[in-house]
Amino acid sequence: MASDLLENEVYVQLMTVLRPCAAYPTGRILLSRWLTGDFANRYTGLWGKVEPSDLTQPDGLLRIAKSHGETCRHPLLDAPLESLKLVAVFQFDVPVEDNTECIYLLEVGNSDIVEEWKDCGRVNRPDGAVGDEWCCEWFDLDKIPYSRMPADDVLWYPLVLAGKLLRGTFKFKGEPKYTVKQYEITEVEGHL
């Protein structure tokens, strides 16, 4: 990853995807719904701020999974770290602060994970637990709630889910729920 991309604040988004299987023919994706703040009631992948050095250290990425799993285990905590793939790097020009977002994909092939998470206190619990800032929910891949997600997600989620590696820039306007003013997404061959 080019070091010039890491001059701003750095965030990581973990996309957890169950590919199609007998139990879930369309596949599923795990999304977080924010319960508080400017992003309340909006969905996105598990998300968190990291130090640039965390991007090369497994512990930094595991910390995000752990922070979203105090009452349940994120699949990343049980998966080999090599199964986590960097699939996109985006520069965001946002009115509040410019930042870089690195998107990591974890594909799980075991429908038991979905069942285990359904029984978890934070998954599919509409109001989360007291003091939570978010709650998680599994969605069929053909029913991703794009209208309830950040404006940029609908532009790149389908590409990542189709197996593309991406680099891009997004310029936003408005607050607190930004709209995309301008964007460019480029497919990358090889690796990021």
pLDDT digits (tens, 9 = 90+) for 132-168: 677 778 899 999 999 999 889 999 999 999 999 999 9
pLDDT at 135: 76
Q: Which has the higher per-residue pLDDT, 108 or 105? A: 105
Looking at this protein, which amino acid is placed at residue 17? V
Q: What residues contact residue 7 under an 8 Å CB cut-off, 6+ apart?
A: 100
With a cut of 70, say whether residue 125 has pLDDT above it.
no
Q: Which has the higher per-residue pLDDT, 164 or 6? A: 164
With a cut of 60, say whether residue 177 has pLDDT above it.
yes
Average pLDDT estimate for 107-132? 58
pTM of the model: 0.80
For residue 20, is the peptide bond before it cis, meaning its omega torsion is within 30 degrees of 0? no
Domains and CATH numbers, the chain: 3-187 (3.90.79.10)
CA-angle at 81, arms to 189 and 54, nearest 5°: 80
Q: Within a 10 A sphere around the Cβ of 41, how many other Cβ atoms? A: 9
pLDDT category of residue 71 using cuts at 50, 70 and 90: very low
The bridge status of strand 46-50 relative to strand 28-34 is: unpaired
